[in-house]
């Protein structure tokens, strides 16, 4: 089955700087890659997703890049703000298959 590795497990950045979280996946048939943000006591919230026919997608301060050849995808957050502090999860799935999640990255924005 699919295996998703996520790095780093913790990340601290100064407010205003950029944060990058990286994931690799094992199944070359995977074609859907969402990123979720989970705040304390809440459920995961979708922040951005990308499908394998696209190499990059951007939504304001958040962007995701996908390298199908290398089987890795990354989340980029620019101009970080205190409210970006949360746990971020990447995930991958094939067509109609279940989502396999990474182990999460705890992002802390230092004011």
Residues that bind another protein (CB under 8 A): 31-32, 34, 36, 42-46, 49, 89, 93-104
Please say which residue, 74 or 93, places its beta carbon nearer to another protein: 93
CB of 85 to another protein, least distance (A): 19
Residue placing its CB nearer to another protein in the complex, 80 or 107: 107
Q: Which is nearer to another protein, 31 or 65 (CB)?
A: 31
The residue written with tokens 């290398």 in the block is 70
> Alpha-carbon distance 36 to 91, whole Å?
8
Q: Which is nearer to another protein, 80 or 102 (CB)?
A: 102
Integer angstrom CA distances of residue 50 from 35, 59, 85: 9, 11, 22
Q: How far apart are the C-alpha atoms of 46 and 51, rounded to whole Å?
A: 14
Smallest distance from the beta carbon of 15 to another protein, in angstroms? Answer: 27
Minimum CB separation from another protein for residue 14, in Å? 28
CB of 78 vs another protein, minimal distance in Å: 23
Tokens of 49: 């997703």
Sign of the dihedral defined by the CA atoms of residues 86, 4, 13, 84, in that order:
negative
């Amino acid at each position: 089955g699919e295996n998703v590795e996520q790095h780093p497990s913790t990340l601290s950045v100064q407010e205003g700087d950029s944060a990058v979280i990286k994931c690799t996946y094992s199944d070359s048939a995977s074609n859907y890659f969402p990123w979720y943000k989970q705040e304390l006591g809440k459920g995961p919230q979708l922040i951005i997703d990308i499908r394998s026919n696209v190499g990059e997608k951007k939504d304001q301060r958040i962007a995701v890049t996908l390298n199908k050849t290398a089987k890795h995808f990354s989340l980029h957050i620019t101009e970080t703000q205190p409210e970006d502090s949360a746990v971020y999860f990447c995930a991958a799935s094939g067509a109609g298959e279940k989502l396999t999640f990474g182990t999460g990255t705890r992002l802390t924005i230092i004011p």
